[in-house]
Amino acid sequence: MNNHQNAIFHQITNFLKTPLALLGVDLKNFQFNKICHFANHPYLCKGLKIMKKKSITLITLFTTAFFTLSVNALTLNLKNVRLKTLINTVSEVTGKNFIVDPRVRGKINVVSTQEIDDDEFYHLFLSILQVHGYIVIEGEGFSKILPQSNTKNNSAQLSNLANDSIVTTVIPIKNVAAGQMVAILRPIVSKYGHLAAYTPSNTIVVIDTRANLVRLKEIINQLDTEIDDDYELMPLVNASADEVAKIIKSLLPKNVKQAANPLTIAIDKSNNQLIVGGAPAKRLKVRFLVKELDKESDRGGDTVVVYLKYAKAKDILPVLQSIGKQLIEGGKKSIKQTINIQADDATNSIIVTAPSMIFSNIKNVISKLDIRRAQVLIEAIIAEVSIDNIEEFGVQWASSGNDGRAVGLIDFTGSLSSALSSSKPTLSKGANIAIGKYNSSTKKGFAAILTALNQQGDVNILSTPSIVTIDNEEASILVGEEVPFITNKQIVSGNSNPFQNFERKDIGIKLKVKPQINNGDTIKLEIEQEISKVTKQGAASDLVTSKRTIKTSVMVADNKILVLGGLIDDTVVTTQSSVPLLGDIPILGELFKYSSEKKVKKNLLIFIHPTILTDQLVADQVSMEKYNYIYQKQLLNGGATLPKRLEKSTDFPKSIKLPVVRKSIKPLTFINEYKDEYEDIEYDE
């Protein structure tokens, strides 16, 4: 050590005598030359360790920097001190471990006249770093010193951090949209901070210093106040409220259910207006958009063709025209609106020319009218029962169990048990009518047999019509012939043959039925039944007919049987016998003749069995059962010309499962022959 360095060393020693003495350091035994290292520069003291009471504090001094120490505080003045040297000193003072980024470099200057403690010294250190563009990221057991450009990728927790430390936090926004709040707060965030909004949860993510974060929270608390949302009605004159609402909703951002004060739009179709709720600014935008969309069109309306699937265009045309007229009359008189609705039978379509508001209502009505209506299968038995000397008349019920035995019988004649158990059942003498018969794959059959049994009685089945019609559509069946009736006769002079006018009328069995399906699978039937026949020819060559008619409206449950009857016809049967030749002699011939009269009473019974065909699968099931019955009947008659099954194009696919609800369909069969059972098609269950 040269003389100049010795002089500097003694000056420093003398300068530190007082503070070292205050710290209780024994200057006699304190050897500076063992711990003090000097650089080659004559004015630099490389380092000096100072003993402090109860702790060791490393203070690195330069010739241009010095500490003024007291017992509890120090005064710091630095000039052109390297930053890494200050970091080493702070590490010794605070006991913190630092990881220093290689990019951290430079010199600092600090002027201080006030005494500070260790905590204030660390806060001053953070402020020095921030001024020079560096930050401290706190971690567990260590801290990182990085350039401020790395703030977004490196952040710390909020708790127990200095004001100049960088932190990341999530702030929920309750009453205001987070996106709007970000636009206000962005200028306040430091240049190295980060601010973003997460719309689904209406929150804000902030990366900034703790001190700036406290200020941001104070501003957010003042701005995030509850807003009294209101709603307003926006009536439309020309446009459809439904269409306008769709356009506006398509413009709204998606996934905003949790956003603050979302815009809500409801439709009042009856008054053709929108009900809009939300913030005033949002409602103002919607109001402007509604005004633009509700402008009157110079074309007077668009022309749209609506093709129908099920309904007839000409049938629903009067309804649509009436509704369109009411819509025009109910609109504002200041608005000129025209509407034109026509039907095209060739394409079964409705052509509508109307403003969009009116067309929307018309289209809604069309969609409600153009639906697939259910069908009704109506099966009937029309029979005449001769009731002279009838000894037995009743209904027999029977069911066959799993083993094929008949159970639960009310059997007057003893013939039902064998009928149900035999493969080719026969009944005892008399007329028998099988009102219902259904065989399923489980071999459980059900039958209701109407029996009129008497060796001297008779049942004449006049007809067994079966017809399918659409709900609320009339269907009719006629079994008979056209008979000419004289309506006018004129005798022309000079002509021996009179001029006659004839009118042909239907004589026979007529059945008209109009079903109406109600709620609960009940069917209202309007029935008109007529049975007429020619009885005899009058003296003037006129025809005399007898007629029995039933006209009624009844309610029947789906797949149930209704009996109509009580029309009794009194017929006088005259029988005359005579001896040939002798019986033809006038006056004397009466002695060789025998004549008798017998009164016969016949009761007309009508059995109605309606079944609702809800869809095509149920209709196909009934068709297959009917077809199979005819096929089995042909086999009994000695041969079959029909294929055993329908063609594949009309057969059921194996993958289709028929509705279980319709398993109880009972086709009407007639047990007047040897065979009353037929093979049922086994469908997938």
Q: What is the mean pLDDT of residues 642-657?
A: 45
DSSP state of 321: H
Asked if the model's pLDDT at residue 481 lies above 90, the reply is no
Beta partners for residue 181, in sequence order: none
Structure tokens at 93: 């003072």
Q: pLDDT tens across 419-448, in order?
A: 444 444 444 444 344 433 333 333 333 334
pLDDT given at position 404 = 45
Q: pLDDT tens across 660-679, in order?
A: 333 333 434 333 333 343 33
Asked if the model's pLDDT at residue 561 lies above 90, the reply is no
Distance CA 343, CA 361 (A): 17
Asked if the model's pLDDT at residue 514 lies above 90, the reply is yes
Query: 50-76 b/e with 16+ CB inside 10 Å = b?
Result: bebeeeebebbbbeebbbebeeeebeb
The stretches of 331-385 forming alpha helices (DSSP H) are 356-369
More confident residue, 33 or 103: 103
pLDDT given at position 677 = 38
Asked if the model's pLDDT at residue 408 lies above 90, the reply is no
DSSP state of 297: P
Site of tokens 């006659």? 500
From residue 186, alpha-carbon distances to 211, 317, 322 in Å are 16, 63, 61
Q: What is the mean pLDDT of residues 353-359?
A: 79
pLDDT given at position 130 = 77
Q: pLDDT tens across 172-202, in order?
A: 888 777 888 888 888 888 776 788 888 877 8
Q: pLDDT tens across 369-395, in order?
A: 998 888 999 888 888 877 654 334 444
- Judged by DSSP in three states, 30 sits in coil
Tell me the CATH number of domain 166-223, given options 2.70.150.10, 3.30.1370.120, 3.40.50.300, 3.40.50.261: 3.30.1370.120
The domain made up of 302-369 has a fold known as: Ribosomal Protein S8; Chain: A, domain 1 (3.30.1370)
Tell me the CATH number of domain 230-293, given options 3.40.190.10, 3.30.1370.120, 3.65.10.10, 3.40.630.30: 3.30.1370.120
Q: Integer distance in angstroms from the first to the last C-alpha of the chain?
A: 112
Distance CA 341, CA 366 (A): 12
pLDDT given at position 513 = 92
Asked if the model's pLDDT at residue 417 lies above 60, the reply is no
The domain made up of 3-150 has a fold known as: Phage tail protein beta-alpha-beta fold (3.55.50)
Site of tokens 């356009």? 247
Length reported for the chain: 685
Domains in the chain: boundaries:
3-150, 166-223, 230-293, 302-369
DSSP state of 175: S
Per-residue confidence at 39, pLDDT binned at 50, 70, 90?
A: very low
- Number of C-beta neighbours around residue 371 at 10 A: 10
Q: In what order do the strands lie in the sheet with 143-147?
A: 98-100, 143-147, 134-138
pTM equals: 0.45
Do 3-150 and 230-293 come out as alike in CATH topology? no
Q: pLDDT tens across 578-603, in order?
A: 778 777 888 777 777 777 777 777 78
